[in-house]
Amino acid sequence: MRLLLDTHALIWMVSLDDKLSEKAKTLILDTDNELFLSVASIWEISIKASLGKLILQQPIEQIINQQVQINGVQLISIEAAHALAVSTLPWHHRDPFDRLIIAQSQLENLTILGCDTAMDVYEIERIW
């Protein structure tokens, strides 16, 4: 399975937070699954950390590098097609980072791994 980690899923994964569902843990640990992370999530985490809304145990760059090396997380750049696809999404969800992740999920045929049920109104697959 090709899984696109929602921002909170990555944060909870690296912090071993109990908010990460058992199903999510199983999917993350299954080496048959491919894990992806949008650069939009890195951007979102960077903003929240710089505003003091998110406290990280390590610098974000170190966290991302470790996840790429240790867990084989593949980064998805923000392409023009992704940004343009956001303009075609209905306004069910207002969060700009989530809207970009939804568009990337659709265009790249990825299942979103995250707990945000607000995403379910879009034509995506989401697991939690």
Q: Can you list the positions of beta strands (E) in 1-128?
A: 2-5, 34-38, 74-76, 111-113, 126-127
Q: Are strands 2-5 and 126-127 parallel, antiparallel or unpaired?
A: unpaired
Closest-CA residue to 63 (of 49, 53, 79): 49
Residues 9-65 have pLDDT tens digits of 999 999 989 999 999 999 999 999 999 999 999 999 999 999 999 999 999 999 999
For the cut 90, the answer to whether the pLDDT of residue 114 exceeds it is yes
Per-residue pLDDT, averaged over 81-101, amounts to 96
Residues near 121 by beta carbon (within 8 Å), at least 6 away in sequence: 90, 92, 93
pTM tops 0.85, yes or no: yes
For the cut 90, the answer to whether the pLDDT of residue 108 exceeds it is yes
- Residue in this structure with the two tokens 């894990």, named with its chain if needed: 35
Are 41 and 3 within 8 A, CB to CB? no
What are the chain's domains?
A: 2-121 (3.40.50.1010)
| pLDDT for the residue numbered 93 | 85
DSSP string computed for 19-49: TS-HHHHHHHH-TTSEEEEEHHHHHHHHHHH
